[in-house]
Amino acid sequence: MPSGTHPDEGAFDVTTVLWPEAPVRELPKKLAGALFVLFWAAALALWIIAPNIVDPRLGAFLIDTGIVLASVGFAGTQMSSLKAFRNALIASVVAIALFALGDFGEILALSYFLRVFVPFIALLSSIYAVVGRVKVWYN
């Protein structure tokens, strides 16, 4: 074997990237701000309408839907890509479906869990977005 060559030269490298990363499409700050206002306005409208609903299960569902919309609006201001916001919208649809199951199926443990969990996740996403921008240098 000649000096400077390796027997596995040209073999498949485990660090080879098979699919290049797609370019990240940024979420414009003006759009994020507009979505914040839109989602919070919808949440406030639902919270205003809900006490006037005769069926208590439907009223609870409207309030819970408002919680989801407010949480997405809050978290959306800190998201930097359209893909992250799309994923948040998909998660909000799942949360609304789970709230429907909990409210109309009268599964109180599910409803109360989601009432705490959904805003908590929105808060965490904002915290992680801010922490991700903080630079710390160690000597």
Alpha carbon 67 to chain centroid, angstroms: 13
Give how many domains the chain has, as a whole number.
1
Whether the pLDDT of residue 28 is over 70: the answer is yes
Please indicate, yes or no, if residue 61 is contained in any of the structural domains.
yes
Please indicate, yes or no, if residue 126 is contained in any of the structural domains.
yes
pLDDT of residue 92: 94
Residue type, 13: D
Contact 62, 49 (CB under 8 A): yes
Q: Which of 125, 29, 27 is nearest to 75 (CA)?
A: 125
Mean model confidence pLDDT for the chain: 84
Alpha carbon 79 to chain centroid, angstroms: 9
Please indicate, yes or no, if residue 19 is contained in any of the structural domains.
no
Query: In sequence order, what are the beta bridge partners of 81?
Result: 26
* d(C-alpha 36, C-alpha 70), whole Å: 8
Please indicate, yes or no, if residue 59 is contained in any of the structural domains.
yes
Please indicate, yes or no, if residue 4 is contained in any of the structural domains.
no
Q: Which domain holds residue 51?
A: 29-133
Whether the pLDDT of residue 45 is over 80: the answer is yes
- List, for residues 108-127, the tens digit of each pLDDT value: 999 999 999 999 998 888 78
pLDDT of residue 52: 95
Alpha carbon 63 to chain centroid, angstroms: 19
Angle at CA 101, nearest 5°, toward 99 and 107?
95
Whether the pLDDT of residue 70 is over 90: the answer is yes
Q: Which of 126, 33, 111 is nearest to 71 (CA)?
A: 126
Whether the pLDDT of residue 1 is over 80: the answer is no
Query: In sequence order, what are the beta bridge partners of 26?
Result: 81
pLDDT-derived band at 135 (thresholds 50, 70, 90) equals: low
pLDDT of residue 134: 65
Please indicate, yes or no, if residue 24 is contained in any of the structural domains.
no
Q: What is the mean pLDDT of residues 52-74?
A: 94
* d(C-alpha 50, C-alpha 53), whole Å: 5
10 Å CB burial of residue 108 (0-12, 13-18, 19+) is: exposed
Please indicate, yes or no, if residue 17 is contained in any of the structural domains.
no
